[in-house]
Amino acid sequence: MSEERMLEHARPELAKASEDLQKFTMRESVVRFYARHEARLHHAVQASPQALACEAGCSFCCRQFEVVAHPFEVFEVQAYVTRHFTAAQLRGTIERATRNVNERKAATEAARLTLRPTCPFLVDHSCSVYSARPSVCRNYHSTDKDNCQKSFEDPFSTWPNTYADEVFHTAMGSSAGFKKAVEELGLDTRTYHLSSAFLEAMQSPDSAKRFKSGKRAFLKATTANFEAGAAS
């Protein structure tokens, strides 16, 4: 049942994204997807009987998990940063991303389970790339802020799921639909850790060229543990 509910949202997005990717550049297609995605989420939130606890200034999810992104999302973040960040903002972001990468590299596999790497784009509990943030950030939500705090403070806690069902299925289905459309073009859709992927995108212009040619976009960036053959 859960999978079918997600497919209800994945199928129309797959069709629309496939059409867009034939007409527009990847970046244009991503921007158009984000607009559709936000509209779907807004409708799901308004229709949900469960009120969300998410609000400006709450950043538990930005500090609790290592943020991940697909290459097409990383390049959109990179483009936003290039257009809008000052030199000082960019330096600070690179320093924070580098710190995350180094902490992960130095930690044992067991220790990584308790790492709390703050997203490098989080500044004063606010997202500095909000309009270009990856879909995982758009999808994440909660109906209970207290549970978010408890989970943040206790990495091994088993607090109950606080998702709003319809919002969850809409978010996951919609983002899966766009990813599938990109995948069908033979392009890299691995899930990379945002800190390491962003650094590589900034340092190596060849990463975008590799992505466009259907190769692995990032050669050094680590991927999430749920990826097959993930590099830790």
- Condensed to tens digits (0 to 9), the pLDDT of residues 51-90 reads 887 888 888 788 877 899 999 999 999 999 999 999 999 9
Would the pLDDT of 159 be above 70? no
Identify the bridge partners of residue 223 per DSSP, sorted by sequence position.
Answer: 192
Would the pLDDT of 169 be above 50? yes
Would the pLDDT of 230 be above 90? no
Average pLDDT, the chain: 90
Least confident of 65-69, 207-211, 212-216: 65-69
Place 226 in a pLDDT band, splitting at 50, 70 and 90.
Answer: low
Question: For position 65, what pLDDT does the model report?
Answer: 79
Angle at alpha carbon of residue 157, lines to 97 and 68, rounded to 5°: 25
- Tokens 């497919």 map to which residue? 7
What average pLDDT does this structure show over 154-162? Answer: 71
Place 160 in a pLDDT band, splitting at 50, 70 and 90.
Answer: low
Residues 232, 229: Cα–Cα separation, whole Å: 9
Predicted TM-score (pTM) of this structure: 0.91
Domain assignments of the chain as residue spans, ordered by start: 1-50+164-186, 61-133+190-232
Would the pLDDT of 136 be above 50? yes
Continuous segment of H or E residues that includes residue 67? none
Would the pLDDT of 130 be above 80? yes
